[in-house]
Amino acid sequence: MSSPEGRRRGDVLGVGAIASFVLSGLAIEYLAKSIDEGAGWIRVVGFLVTATLALSWLVVNAPTWWRRFWHWYRTRLDGAVPPAVTPLQATLQLYAEEAEHRLVAFGSYAGGMAAADWFKENEEVLWSLLFNADLGPESVEELARICDALDAVYVRQRCPEKLLAMSDQLATIGNRAGRRDLEELAEVRAATAHRLNGDLDVATARLGVASEVAPRNRVAAALLARRQLERGLLQLARADLCLLPTDCEDAVRNARDRFDDAALAVPHADLAADIAIHLNLGIVYLYQQDAGKALDHLRVAGARASATGDASARAQAWELTGVAAWLQDNRGEAVGWWQKAERLYVRVDESEGRARCLQHLGAAQLTSGHAAPALRLLQDSARLRGGTQGHEVLAGYLDQVHTLLGRGAEPTVEHADRPRRIGIIERLRRLWRPR
């Protein structure tokens, strides 16, 4: 129902329209009489005045007529019967909305563990919807929302095989719907999967494809920032594999340039990308032994993660702050940061982050000659990772602890050979060499 003010406004407009019509009619009738009875010049003036009045009347009243017609037309459209929603589409909408809702809580202080459990319990259903051939182009947005949620989960849980399969399916969906933005996003996610698998050349090639299919639309800036962020991460991965110090330094500088480019392109509303950029710039400066500049970025990342409730990102900022403190020979402060980060990782159920912190703490105990607590911490780290395979640094620490306990000598901690596959934080293992 319309409000009293709306009805009064309509009455005023109605009275105005009637008055305008009556006055216009009287004027035209009077002018018509003058034209019939007047001289030639009077007739000419009468015709001109009549035409002017008629045109003015149309200009004044035509918008009102158009608005009334458009209101009537939209009312008829709203009353039309909407197309039927199939049970499959209803299920897709339900799970897409729930996945998007859970993604907000995933990695947060409140509901983080519950969100992780929900994704674990419903993963099979989400995959069956994602690969269902009966879902047409009208379901693209819902499918993209499911892919967004799975992307965050698989990156955080380090599941490159699942991430790659999901990305390839998103590329198929985007191609079928003519959505180049989805195709570009799928290529960037595929590059992330290959990087996590250690296939850096393939990852670089997939980023090249992403650049080729990139559209110019409202999400172009966000996708450009995502591409540049992934290029920076690729450069850090290459830096960790370099044999020569000069090659490593070049790769780290290239990574910093890519992160700076991402910072220029990222939209102000994309806080998650902004936090990731600051975290990775912190890693770059830790590579370069500049703990001061690293802390500048890590403080920003930690503050914004706290403001947005992203406990996972805040824990990463604390973990890296511990690395910076160790570089500055503040060992007690470093241990404190790693303990805080480890407790926060427990709250959001991130086993890999917790395992890294336990490894840091175990190495710190080892440098202090406390072999028994070091062994306990390092064994807990190995248990969370399902063993030491692929984690040569952790295996090297455990070997040194066993040697120390066997011979009762003071520890001399050296890092093991460079691991073949690494994570974002493990890249720093050469920087804080326990003494």
**Is 17:68 a contact under the CB 8 Å cutoff?**
no
Alpha carbon distances (Å) from 326 to 240, 257, 291, 394: 20, 26, 9, 18
Position 85 scores a pLDDT of 67
Position 132 scores a pLDDT of 85
Residues forming a β-bridge with 108: 310
Position 418 scores a pLDDT of 34
- CA dist., res. 52 & res. 60, Å (int): 12
Sign, CA torsion 230/232/234/236: negative
Position 156 scores a pLDDT of 84
Query: Could you report the average pLDDT of every consecutive run of 10 residues in the chain (435 residues)?
Result: 45 44 48 52 55 58 60 57 71 92 79 84 94 82 93 89 94 90 93 94 94 77 92 93 89 95 90 94 94 96 92 95 95 96 90 94 92 94 90 90 71 37 40 33
Position 324 scores a pLDDT of 96
Sign, CA torsion 31/36/41/44: positive
- Is residue 321 classed exposed, middle or buried when 0-12, 13-18 and 19+ CB atoms within 10 A define those classes? buried
Global pTM reads: 0.72
Angle between the N-to-C axes of helices 291-308 and 311-327, in degrees from 0 to 180, rounded to the nearest 10: 160
Position 338 scores a pLDDT of 97
Of all helices (H) and strands (E), which one includes residue 340?
Answer: helix 331-347
